[in-house]
Chains A and B, each alone.
Chain A
Amino acid sequence: MINRNPQLDENGVLQHLLTTEGLPASILLHILDTAESFVGVTERDVKKIPLLRGKSIFNLFFEPSTRTRTTFEIAAKRLSADVINLNIAVSAQSKGETLLDTVNNLSAMNADMFIVRHAQSGAAHLIAKHVRSDIHVINAGDGSHAHPTQALLDMFTIRRYKRDFHNLRVAIVGDILHSRVARSQIHALTTLGVPEVRVIAPKTLLPRMVERLGVHVYHDMAKGLKDVDVVMMLRLQNERMKGANLPSPEEFFKYYGLTSEKLALARRDAIVMHPGPMNRGVEIDSAVADGKQSVILPQVTFGIAVRMAVMSILAGNQV
């Protein structure tokens, strides 16, 4: 095996979580099953267990993020780990230190785990290849490449509400082109056996040859949402947009914003998801975001349990 998955060791055991691409269903399901047990912990009065006591987890955020960083921090603290938050966008890198020098310095401080958010695709892979074998790396979003813990918490949410993946129609709607979330969702959904994954977006917001990922492409919301069980909205990434892709947010809302009228085309028991932060009135209408079918806030709650599961599985998989 020459092209071994860099996330797995030679025995196929998970050492890093970098992307959902290429991970076997058994590993994805093991993470989801373990997360079920952590949901119980997060509902108790004492929301803390001693599993990662004495471990040092570094949140390396080279790109600003509040929600993802916070949920990783809460997850690590509930596992009793020590969490160090580094907002590197405004520290070492502005002084000229390279990415790997930063990582070397933190490794010398006896880090056990790095959680990495970076604007460049592949940054977490680079760090995972570079670190000592006893350090684990979790990708918390790299460029437009992958965001595996978001995809896993989405899978967890879908399973909670729909139980089985094998009879579902799932639509992912919006800015697929710039979305690391969408890529990770598509890989996870197809691996877990969802028979029909749709993407709904204007041509300008779709990657070339997206069909190769095994999805059905729709440009029309009315057709794409028909009879789906799950609607996964994406955030319109204004900061990644260079004008030409999109006439205006109002125009986008008119054609691709999720309103109650459009949602009525999906199955009556369809759930609506969004990774946050939401642009109300751009990709989603407030009536839907706050409506009965929305599971957006449960997604946030489950996200903590899923990240606890990933961290404890990785920390326990020592070489």
Chain B
Amino acid sequence: MQLPDAEILLKSLAKKIRSEGGKDFVLVGIHTGGVWLAERLHQELGITRPLGTLDVSFYRDDFDKIGLHSQVKPSEIPFEVEGAHIILVDDVLHTGRTIRAAINELFDYGRPASISLATLVDRGGRELPIAAQFTGIALELPVDKMLELKREENGKLSLNLYDKRLPE
């Protein structure tokens, strides 16, 4: 199937955040695709406050099933979370479990004034009551497919669809 161009989605997502995101917010990207996206949005929107990054591996709900992810990256929140308006950024919104983990992690840094969510693709399939305030596009995708953001060497973003490998 023909996937939309991630670069175009990025532009439209940036536009939505610019018009409805208010003034005083900070971006927090979720590793790995969400961080790439957040870096680009950070640039695109000309935000001066530093960008935060989260690796939610320590907060996931499937640790007992699949163990620790093989490459956990440090979370870095270089600003005061207490009282901040935070826009969480992730590449693909699916079950909502990653976002649940990210919200829990953010609260261990402090009590934000608000958290909203920006995602490039909302592919449905929610298992938790979570919704994105800023969406690049909504796509219906078969459940056995994985959608992932890729970054080329020149920094260009693209979407990638592949078969989900089920564990033996």
Contacts and interface: CB of A to CB of B under 8 A. Distances in A.
A-B complex is real: yes
B63 A316 contact: yes
Interface stretch (B8-16, B102-110, B133-141, B150-158): B102-110
A36 B59 contact: no
Interface stretch (A38-46, A101-109, A177-185): A38-46
Interface residues of B, number: 21
A317 B67 CA distance: 6
A311 B28 CA distance: 28
A14 B58 CA distance: 19
A33 B71 CA distance: 8
Nearest to B57: A37
Contact of B68 (A41, A50, A313): A313
B74 interface: yes
A51 interface: yes
Contact of B72 (A37, A46, A48, A318): A37
B18 interface: no
B75 A48 contact: no
Interface in A5-44: 30, 33-34, 36-37, 39-41, 44
A45 B109 contact: yes
A49 interface: yes
A46 B67 contact: no
A312 interface: yes
A48 B105 CA distance: 10
B55 interface: yes
B63 A51 contact: yes
Q: How large is the interface on A (under 10, 10 to 19, 20 to 34, 35 or more residues)?
A: 20 to 34
A152 B74 CA distance: 19
A156 to B, nearest CB: 14
A316 B109 contact: no
Given A316-B67, A317-B67, 20 more contacts: A36-B74, A37-B55, A37-B57, A37-B73, A37-B75, A39-B74, A40-B74, A46-B109, A48-B108, A49-B105, A50-B58, A50-B59, A51-B68, A312-B58, A312-B68, A315-B63, A315-B67, A316-B63, A318-B64, A318-B67
Interface of A: 30, 33-34, 36-37, 39-41, 44-46, 48-51, 312-313, 315-318
29 contacts: A33-B71, A33-B72, A37-B58, A37-B73, A39-B74, A40-B75, A40-B76, A44-B108, A45-B108, A45-B109, A46-B108, A48-B108, A49-B58, A49-B59, A49-B105, A49-B108, A50-B58, A50-B59, A51-B58, A51-B63, A313-B67, A313-B68, A315-B67, A316-B66, A316-B67, A316-B68, A317-B67, A318-B64, A318-B67
Interface of B: 55, 57-59, 63-64, 66-68, 70-76, 104-105, 108-110
